[in-house]
Amino acid sequence: MSVLSELSVGETGVVVSLNLPESVQNHLMHMGFVPDARVMALRRAPAGDPTVYSVDGMEIALRKETAGAIGVRIAEHEGGEKSRELLEAAR
């Protein structure tokens, strides 16, 4: 298992756990960060923080501290056409 903040741009992870205060956890879950959700790192700010992630069709920027509290497992590659489209749109 890894954490969301360790994903490289273009890499996809599957949410396993959220180790955050309940209010923050609930907020993120309403935005799509639920167990088994696929999350892709789209781009990083020039200074490296925050990072923009794609989850459930939305783009959400998270600070490294928050993303570091979200447990993920690296997703297996699935052909990747949608992944390439997301990355191109993010540029």
Predicted confidence at residue 1, as pLDDT, reads 85
* Domains identified in the chain and CATH numbers: 2-90 (2.30.30.90)
Which two structure tokens, joined as six digits, stand for 87?
């990355």
pLDDT in 10s for each residue of the chain, 91 residues? 899 999 999 999 999 999 999 999 999 999 999 999 999 999 999 998 999 999 988 999 999 999 999 999 998 765 455 555 655 665 5
